[in-house]
């Protein structure tokens, strides 16, 4: 709806009339200052010009009206919006090693690889994390922070959906992924720091042991939820058999990492279980509700101000044109 920041500016509208009424008229000098031949013809031309000039006060009044409207500062006020306040900092660490190519997950009755299942289900989870800053970390043989902590959940989701198997190497550096996540989370001042680690294998690469990395997480007060993704060993699809033999998930290590940091370990053998795990995590780590509420305001005063300047310019040009026309007739 339309609102006015300074509505009392409309009191300026009668100002030109008050000035004309209150100020005394200009003094008229007595006597004749100049004698013109053909005075009658000159007066006739002046009368014709003054009839045209009579239109000018209308333009002046219109310009003044628009100027007063601009001074009143019209604003368009939108619908009430909730501003998400800063909640927890949450990092999503996703395994993109070669074993994630195993096609032992199903979506809509169609067999898909493990990474695709994670992308679909995690994407829906991210869409409900309003109020949290979320980052994305991908790991295989190496660990990389793809998206720093941000409120732009659409960008995090895009980075997850465009990730691919083998992007960070074929092996699994689970400990390095935890260590990098802890390093990034400790740089923040949020009192709630959460890491969700999704993997389908055992720690086969990297310089840092997962249990040692969990000690760093405890010292930095980072809570870790670990998720083992994939069907039972030997049930991978044809593509998974060609690219990487599905491994037994090191559930013991994942469970110890989660318990040490105050989190939980989950096992996802199919997409339904994976979706249920995200629902459980959402209950354990509810997103922060909206904080302050505001109405977005758009300033509209430049439009009447520009219109006032345009009308004033047209009035000036009109006056010049009439004056030149009158002088041409006299000649």
Size (the chain), residues: 331
pLDDT band at 88, cuts 50/70/90?
confident
- Mean pLDDT on 320-330: 68
pTM as predicted: 0.59
- CB neighbours of 241 closer than 8 A, spacing ≥ 6? 102
Q: Model confidence over 202-238: pLDDT tens digits?
A: 888 888 999 999 999 999 999 999 998 876 554 444 4
pLDDT value at residue 179: 95
Backbone φ/ψ region at 190: left (φ over 0), alpha (ψ -120 to 50), beta: beta
Distance separating alpha carbons of residues 224 and 279, to the nearest angstrom: 16
pLDDT band at 82, cuts 50/70/90?
low
pLDDT band at 292, cuts 50/70/90?
low
pLDDT value at residue 220: 92
pLDDT value at residue 14: 84
Find out whether 72 and 236 touch, Cβ atoms under 8 Å: no
- Mean pLDDT on 238-246: 42
Find out whether 191 and 164 touch, Cβ atoms under 8 Å: no
What percent of the chain clears pLDDT 70, i.e. is strictly above it? 78
**Residue 105 vs residues 36, 109, 246: alpha-carbon distances, Å:** 105, 9, 12
Q: Model confidence over 144-203: pLDDT tens digits?
A: 999 999 988 899 999 999 999 988 888 999 999 999 999 999 988 777 889 999 998 788
């Amino acid at each position: 709806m339309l609102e006015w920041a300074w509505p009392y500016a409309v009191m300026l509208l009668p100002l030109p009339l008050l000035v004309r009424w209150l100020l005394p008229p200009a003094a008229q000098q007595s006597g004749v200052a100049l004698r013109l031949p053909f005075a009658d013809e000159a007066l006739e031309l002046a009368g014709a010009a003054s009839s045209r000039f009579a239109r000018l006060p209308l333009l002046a009044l219109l310009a003044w009206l628009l100027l007063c409207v601009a001074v009143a500062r019209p604003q368009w006020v939108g619908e009430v919006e909730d501003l998400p306040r800063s909640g927890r900092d949450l990092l999503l660490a996703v395994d993109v090693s070669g074993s994630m190519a195993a096609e032992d997950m199903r979506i809509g009755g169609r067999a898909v690889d493990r990474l695709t299942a994670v992308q679909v289900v995690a994407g829906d989870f991210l869409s409900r994390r309003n109020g949290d800053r979320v980052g994305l970390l991908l790991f295989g043989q190496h660990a990389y922070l793809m998206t720093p902590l941000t409120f732009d959940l659409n960008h995090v989701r895009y980075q997850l959906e465009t990730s691919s198997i083998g992007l960070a190497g074929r092996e699994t550096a689970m400990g390095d992924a935890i260590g990098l996540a802890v390093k990034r989370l400790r740089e923040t001042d949020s009192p709630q720091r959460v890491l969700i680690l999704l993997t389908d294998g055992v720690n086969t690469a990297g310089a840092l042991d997962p249990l040692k990395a969990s000690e760093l997480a405890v010292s930095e007060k980072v809570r870790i939820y670990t998720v083992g993704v994939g069907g039972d060993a030997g049930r991978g699809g044809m593509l998974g058999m060609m690219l990487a033999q599905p491994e037994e998930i090191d559930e013991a290590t994942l469970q110890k990492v989660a318990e040490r940091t105050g989190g939980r370990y989950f096992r996802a053998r199919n997409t339904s279980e994976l979706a249920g795990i995200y629902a459980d995590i959402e209950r354990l780590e509810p997103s922060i509700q909206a904080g302050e509420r505001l109405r977005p305001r758009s300033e509209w005063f430049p439009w009447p101000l520009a219109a006032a300047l345009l009308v004033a310019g047209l009035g000036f040009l009109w006056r010049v044109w009439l004056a030149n026309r009158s002088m041409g007739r006299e000649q």
